[in-house]
Amino acid sequence: MSDFKNKKVLEIKKEETYDWLKRLHYAKRIPSISYSFGLYLHKELIGVITYGSPPSSSLCIGICGEQFKDKVIELNRLCLIDNDKNNASYLVGNSLKLLPKPQIVVSYADTSMNHTGYIYQATNFIYTGLSDKRTEWRIKNSNMHSKTICEKYTLQERMNDKDKFEVVDRPRKHRYIYFLGDKRQKKIFNQNLNYPIHSYPKTETLNYRIDNKISTQMILI
């Protein structure tokens, strides 16, 4: 069992997360970061979590409607240096307590990485099913993120080079939501939630490829 007496969650500068996210997270890119927190064991940083603006306004509106779109933030990165699920839930749960309130937190578990979101289940997020079916741009035989591709290459460049670029089905993601606030604020958010609430999907044992080696010692969400 984890020794929580020697652990604490503190707010950190977003720049302190960059090396973690670039080296260790499978997405290999820095997302929008408004809030960032670190999990410390004694004085050693053993995990980071970041929250930021969701990638689209339609996503923000879709959760609880136009009137609450400015209250939506995304838990967009979670990295730990070990596979202790108690560390992960401790970091998530305590970072939520440090966020400004009221807010609506949304996060996704990527099915293409065999993620089901068991950390969100352990911290009592609401499960609202899978994201919508969509397509996205990809570079053939590359893991470059679709957003990075669209930022780096124009639409005309992508359309004119079919040997390099392709449009593929975007992997669907499990969508989780957490309401922050007092009882009244949470009740209002719940009353305006546009998504049906579903039972949690089953969890799986995951492996991650780090530095060309298979490891079960890293949790990446």
Residues 11 and 71 in one domain: yes
What is the number of structural domains in the chain?
2
Residues 164 and 178 in one domain: no
pLDDT at 102 over 90: yes
d(CA 38, CA 180): 20
Residues 96 and 18 in one domain: yes
Alpha-carbon torsion, ordered 35, 36, 42, 47, to 10 deg = 140
Residues 117 and 184 in one domain: yes
Residues 65 and 129 in one domain: yes
Residues 59 and 126 in one domain: yes
How confident is the model at residue 214, as a pLDDT? 34
Angle (nearest 5°) at CA 32 between 161 and 148:
10
Model pTM? 0.77
pLDDT at 83 over 90: no
Residues 209 and 142 in one domain: no
Please tell me the least confidently modeled range out of 3-17, 32-46, 66-80, 204-218.
204-218
Size of the chain, expressed as the number of residues it contains: 221
At 121, which CATH number? 3.40.630.30
Residues 122 and 148 in one domain: no
Q: Work out the pLDDT band at 15, boundaries 50, 70, 90.
A: very high
Q: What digits encode the pLDDT tens for the residues 185-218?
A: 999 999 999 999 999 998 654 433 333 333 333 4
Residues 61 and 150 in one domain: no
d(CA 91, CA 100): 16
Residues 89 and 161 in one domain: no
Residue 15 lies in domain: 4-133+171-220
Residues 139 and 191 in one domain: no
Please tell me the least confidently modeled range out of 32-41, 61-70, 160-169.
160-169
Residues 75 and 145 in one domain: no
- Token pair recorded at residue 64: 């609880």
Closest CA to 117 of 104, 102, 128: 128
Q: What digits encode the pLDDT tens for the residues 126-169?
A: 999 987 656 666 677 666 666 677 777 787 878 776 777 777 66
Structure-model confidence comparison of residues 209 and 84, the more confident one: 84
